[in-house]
Chains A and B, each alone.
Chain A
Amino acid sequence: MGRSLTEVVQQQTSSGGGTHSDPWQQPCFTVYSMEHSNGGGGFFSYDHNLNCLSNVRGSGNQHYGSYRTYNDQASEFMQNYASHQHYETTGDASSNSERPSLTSFCGYLGHIQFTPAQPNGFGGWLRNGPPGANRAGKAFRDVNVIVNEPKQDWAWFTEHSSGNHYVRFTQRSANTYYSDQESGYGGYMRVSCAWSQSMYGGSCYNKKTNKVCFMETNTGHVFKPIIYSNVPDLRAVATNVNHYYNVNERNDAYSEHTTGELYDFFNNSSNRVAYDQTNGKPTNNTNEDNYRCVTVLCDNDRVVMFQMIPHYGCWTTRWNTSGNCEGNIWSTSHTTSYGYEQGNKYGVRWQVSSDGRFVMAYCPSYYYGSGLMCVLIRVSDGKVLYGYHHDGTYGHQFCPLGKSDFLCAMQVNTDGGSGMYYRVIRSQREMHRLNDLSNFNPRDNMRTYMIDTPYYSTAYPALIPAYYDTSLFNSQLPDSETVFDT
């Protein structure tokens, strides 16, 4: 089978006109807070050194000539939604379904309510109101994990459709995914399930091992990983948005969803093996824990699956290198919570480190988006650390930081100048100091007064993860593994 894809070498440019040679000076995240009446608000962007890159701030009432955020005359800001809780940050996450600080609103595609900061640090910016967030939510629901990918400028998505996965390979954009997904005919490739039925997201591509794991459900809350080997370079497919490569062009149409080498590859049973089905799941509750999960296919062929179980909590399972399921390796229960069955913008999320070697999978523990339950997974071997905070008040939001790390923001009231509460989670250190299946406690050492927020008084800010050139963290930094090599 030919897989002679050519990856186009691209220039590394920023929209600011320069070229980033220092990976640390790229945007990492944006802090957003807003009060629509007198206070105003805006967007403060930070780089991977946690230094401010740019700020956009609008003033509130009674400021002619200023950049206004205020009500119906806020032409530059959210006119139709002025004073709505969707963009106000004056209330905490708690049991609310719309506030920007919700745990479930951040993931690999950024923040559900905002487009992410650009390479020059500007932004993010708004999606328009609840409809925009709900639409972006489809992409957050369906996006699959990518590991060991040095250049994370692409995404792939799986949509549930009975016995077929509807798979799309595109750029890393919730906005373009929504257009494709809603077009009615556009862009998906059909992959027949090997065992039972497909899921929303729940799959994983390991760039280093050239393997893909599709997770399947039997629709009765039992799951089975299906592993494909010798998978072609999916980034090349995605960045060219072409899963029909090596198809002869002709005047007559082809069957859109069932044509091409990639289709042939994924629908050839000789390319895949099935692992054991799950056992030990604590309880079965909703569609979220029947049709969604976060899956990590590790370098040693272990598979780790993290799943939110609304109204219970979450659980984690793992398959060993022989494909045997280890059962429930960590779970925690709390109280009422909601997954995508209450709207696509809710449920489990994930982030991957810039080097692709660590995955943070997480979900809220309380209602739509407060509290935190998470696992940190080392891709090389499937070691798992967990953390949780059953907080009924504050959202917790993650983004990748630096080469291998993550930043966890706890969205506490910033009034008085404390700024955004944050903690840097050093992935390699945590893996070094703790045993497998230990609590790394992301709330430890939460810090204040270092990251400013756009609105000074009562505010529970949002963290908007940025898009940046992840490959610079892999190409521009010395390899610490070889420093003693001669």
Chain B
Amino acid sequence: MANKFLHYRKNPAAGGIYTEGGAVLKDVSGVVGIYDTAAEVPQNLDNDWETFVTVEYDWDPTVDSIHNLVLNAAGNGFDKKWSGKTVAEQLQAHHDEQKEIQFKEKKAQLKKQINNKASTLIERLEGWKLQKAEQQDFLSGGTDKRTAVYQEIENIRAASNVKQAELSPHDPTTLVGQNALNAFDPHGWGEDIQSDPAPANTEGQWLDTPTA
């Protein structure tokens, strides 16, 4: 079998990678094109983030899926990500890996949605309601109106923390945790602001077994 020219993307030096708590969550390096000739490899590409390398390689697709190929230290060949696995097993391993990433991202989004909701609720209180309390306290010489509003705000923070605590234990790497994340509603707490939870999306769900 004739050698192929494999176009490989290295992880970007900065930007472009989804992170969680400062930890890199997603590895976007990998083979992004297989060509019969070097001339076919994409040329003259503006790219702020990434660098590419083209490796001439005796690639046997019946032995290695492209997901199994990791650029070696010398940059002229490939190490194997999963040694001893068949192509079907490699695809399954890649699929499982992607699924985990998806659920990590989902968890991070749910966390953000809770914070967004808390922020919205607090913002409302900090508007007309707090102004009103300040005015009333000024006239009465007291602090009770402001205290009441401050307490409402603090209650929202506390409720938000409770919701975050409900989310926190769900492990995106386990099936139980993934199901829990799918069912998790980041709304349904705090002041009733008549926000309905988003309808469940039943399409585009993950298949557990990719077909090779």
Contact residues of A with B, CB < 8 Å?
36-37, 61-62, 64, 70-73, 79-86, 88, 91-92, 94-98, 129-131, 134, 285-286, 310-311, 333-336, 338, 342-346, 367-368, 371, 388-393, 412-413, 415-416, 418, 421, 439, 441, 443-449, 458
Contact partner, A131, options B44, B98, B113, B199, Cβ 8 Å: B199
A413: contacting residue among B32, B33, B43, B49, CB under 8 A: B49
Q: Is the pair A73, B198 in contact by a Cβ cutoff of 8 Å?
A: no
* B73 touches A (CB below 8 Å): no
Please give, as numbers and ranges, the residues of chain B lying within 8 Å of A134 by CB-CB distance.
201, 203
A71 adjacent to B120 (CB under 8 Å): yes
B15 touches A448 (CB 8 A): no
Residue B10 is within 8 A (CB to CB) of chain A in the complex? no
Name the 5 nearest CB pairs between A and B, nearest first. A97-B204, A343-B203, A443-B42, A336-B210, A130-B201
- Contact call A393/B28, Cβ cutoff below 8 A: yes
Stretch at the interface among B59-67, B159-167, B177-185: B59-67
Across chains A and B, the number of contacting residue pairs, with CB separation under 8 Å, is 166
Per-residue contact bits, chain B 121-140, to A (CB 8 Å; 1 contact, 0 not): 00110010000000000000
Cβ contacts under 8 Å, B91 to chain A: 335-336
Please indicate the chain B residues that have their CB under 8 angstroms from the CB of A72 in the complex: 117, 120, 193, 195
The interface residues of chain A lying within 8 Å CB-to-CB of B207 are 338, 342
Q: Could you say which residues of chain A place their CB within 8 Å of the CB of B32? A: 371, 389-393
CA distance A72 to B192 in the complex (A): 12
Pick from B43, B66, B193, B198: contact of A335, CB under 8 Å? B66
The 8 Å CB contact of B102, one of A84, A95, A129, is: A95
Which residues from chain B contact A416 at a C-beta distance below 8 Å? 15, 48
Docked Cα-Cα span, A444 to B44, in Å, equals 6
Contacts of B188 in A (CB 8 A): none
B28–A71 touching, CB < 8 Å: no
User: Quick one: which of B89-143 are within 8 Å of A by CB?
Assistant: 91, 94-95, 98, 101-102, 105-106, 109, 112-113, 115-117, 119-120, 123-124, 127
Q: Is the CB of A98 within 8 A of B109?
A: no
Q: Is the CB of A421 within 8 A of B204?
A: no
Contacting residues, chain B, for A95 (C-beta < 8 A): 98, 101-102
- Is the Cβ of A61 less than 8 Å from the Cβ of B109? no
From residue A115, how far is it (CB to closest CB) to chain B in Å? 20
In the bound complex, do residue B203 and residue A389 qualify as a contact, i.e. CB atoms below 8 Å apart?
no
Cβ B211 vs Cβ A336 within 8 A? yes
Q: A134-B201, A342-B204 are in contact. List 17 more A-B contacts (CB 8 A).
A: A36-B112, A71-B117, A71-B120, A84-B109, A97-B205, A285-B211, A334-B66, A335-B210, A389-B33, A390-B34, A392-B28, A392-B32, A393-B9, A413-B48, A444-B45, A445-B44, A446-B42
- State whether A98 and B66 are in contact (beta carbons under 8 Å apart), knowing that A285-B211, A415-B16 are contacts in the complex: no
Given A85-B109, A446-B45, A335-B65 contact (CB < 8 Å) = yes
Cα separation A98 to B206 with both chains bound (whole Å): 12
B31 within 8 A of A: yes
Check A96–B43 contact: CB distance below 8 A: no
Contact of A61 among B42, B94, B119 (CB under 8 A): B119
Interface centre among A36, A81, A285, A439 (most CB of B within 10 A): A439
Which residue of chain B has the shortest Cβ distance to A417 in the bound complex? B48
Q: Which residues of A have CB within 8 Å of B16? A: 92, 412-413, 415, 458
Q: Are A441 and B48 in contact (CB under 8 A)?
A: no
CA distance in complex: A174, B95 (Å):
33
In contact, B28 and A37 (Cβ under 8 angstroms): no
Known contacts A389-B33, A392-B30; A70/B116 CB under 8 A: yes
In the bound complex, how far is the Cα of B202 from the Cα of A342, in angstroms? Answer: 10
Tell me, in angstroms, the Cα distance from A371 to B67 when the chains sit together: 14
Instruction: Tell me which residues across on chain B come within 8 A of A37, comparing CB atoms.
Output: 112, 115-116, 119
User: With the chains together, A81 CA to B195 CA distance in Å?
Assistant: 11
Q: Which residues from A are CB-within-8-Å of B40?
A: 439, 441
> Which among A286, A335, A388 is the interface contact of B67 at CB below 8 angstroms?
A335
CB within 8 Å for A446 and B46 given contacts A36-B116, A342-B207 = yes
**Chain A residues whose C-beta falls within 8 Å of the C-beta of B49 in the assembled complex:** 412-413
Q: List 16 A-B contacts (CB under 8 A).
A: A70-B120, A71-B117, A72-B193, A82-B113, A84-B198, A131-B201, A134-B203, A335-B65, A335-B91, A346-B204, A367-B98, A389-B33, A392-B32, A413-B49, A448-B48, A458-B15
Question: Across the interface, do B211 and A85 meet the contact criterion of CB distance under 8 Å?
Answer: no
Q: How far is the CB of A237 from chain B (nearest CB, A)?
A: 32
Complex: how many Å from CA A449 to CA B49?
13
Given the known interface contacts A83-B112, A311-B212, A336-B95, the answer about A129 and B42 at a Cβ–Cβ threshold of 8 Å is no
In the bound complex, how far is the Cα of B7 from the Cα of A443, in angstroms? 12
List residues of chain A with CB within 8 A of the CB of B95: 336
Partner of A443, one of B45, B48, B66: B45
Given known pairs A72-B193, A84-B109, A97-B204, the reply for A413 and B42 (CB within 8 Å) is no
Q: Is B83 an interface residue (CB 8 A)?
A: no
What residues of A have a CB within 8 angstroms of the CB of B9 in the complex? Answer: 391, 393
Residue pair B15, A88 in contact (C-beta under 8 Å): no
Q: Do the beta carbons of B199 and A129 come within 8 Å of each other? A: yes
Cβ distance B197 to chain A, nearest Cβ, rounded Å: 8
B204 near A98: Cβ-Cβ < 8 Å: yes
Residues of B near A91 (CB, < 8 A) are: 18, 105
List of B residues within 8 angstroms of A61 by Cβ: 119, 123
Q: List residues 14-48 of chain B with CB under 8 A from any CB of chain A.
A: 15-16, 18, 26, 28, 30-35, 40, 42-48
